[in-house]
């Protein structure tokens, strides 16, 4: 699979249920290869492997993923922590079997760069900041998708 990284989480650790007293590490990222299709990729493993893999690329890089495990996603549980994707599947990376190679999008396919700027949500599924200000009381307690742009950054 070849795509551009459009999102990435930080490395996290969890107690390993099989080896009491040790921890397993994970991070995930989302890749996109067309305006319509993108998929979440998750990696679990030892700290050295996960940190090294996470540091090997960033959002905006093109990656080639070889030998991932394809697994059905558990939509309700997984989409709390990852972007909602149009696919019913996710990719799992294994330290022993999978390889992630990074390359310049210019070298791979310049069309992938344009995918970085496309929203991942349906354009009809957003609230503007004006809508939220005007209807704040009626929206209280709801989870909303917001589409906004940063106009300025200062101290």
Task: Identify the CA nearest to 5 among candidates 96, 149, 103, 71.
Answer: 103
Q: Residue 7, Cβ neighbours under 10 Å: how many?
A: 15
Angle at CA of residue 69, ends 67 and 72, nearest 5°: 150
Q: Where are the domains of the chain?
A: 2-115
Dump pLDDT digits (tens) for 44-77: 999 999 999 999 999 988 999 999 999 998 866 6
Q: Give the CATH fold of the 2-115 domain.
A: OB fold (Dihydrolipoamide Acetyltransferase, E2P) (2.40.50)
Measured in degrees and rounded to the nearest 5, phi and psi for residue 113 equal -60, -35
Question: What tokens were used for 44?
Answer: 């679990």
Dump pLDDT digits (tens) for 73-106: 886 666 666 777 888 899 999 888 999 998 766 6
Q: Is 83 exposed, middle or buried (0-12, 13-18, 19+ CB in 10 A)?
A: middle
- Provide the whole-model pTM: 0.77
């Amino acid at each position: 699979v070849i795509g551009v990284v459009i999102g990435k989480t930080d490395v996290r650790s969890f107690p390993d249920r099989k080896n009491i007293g040790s921890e397993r590490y994970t991070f995930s990222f989302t890749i996109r290869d067309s305006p319509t299709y993108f998929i979440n990729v998750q990696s679990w493993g030892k700290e050295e492997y996960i940190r090294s893999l996470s540091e090997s690329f960033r959002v905006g890089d093109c990656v080639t993923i070889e030998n991932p495990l394809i697994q059905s996603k558990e939509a309700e549980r997984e989409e709390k922590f990852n972007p909602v994707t149009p696919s019913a599947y996710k990719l799992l990376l294994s330290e022993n079997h999978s390889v992630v190679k990074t390359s310049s999008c210019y070298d791979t396919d310049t069309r992938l760069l344009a995918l970085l700027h496309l929203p991942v949500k349906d354009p009809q599924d957003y609230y503007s900041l004006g809508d939220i200000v005007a209807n704040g009381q009626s929206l209280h307690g709801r989870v909303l998708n917001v589409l906004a742009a940063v106009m300025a950054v200062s101290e």
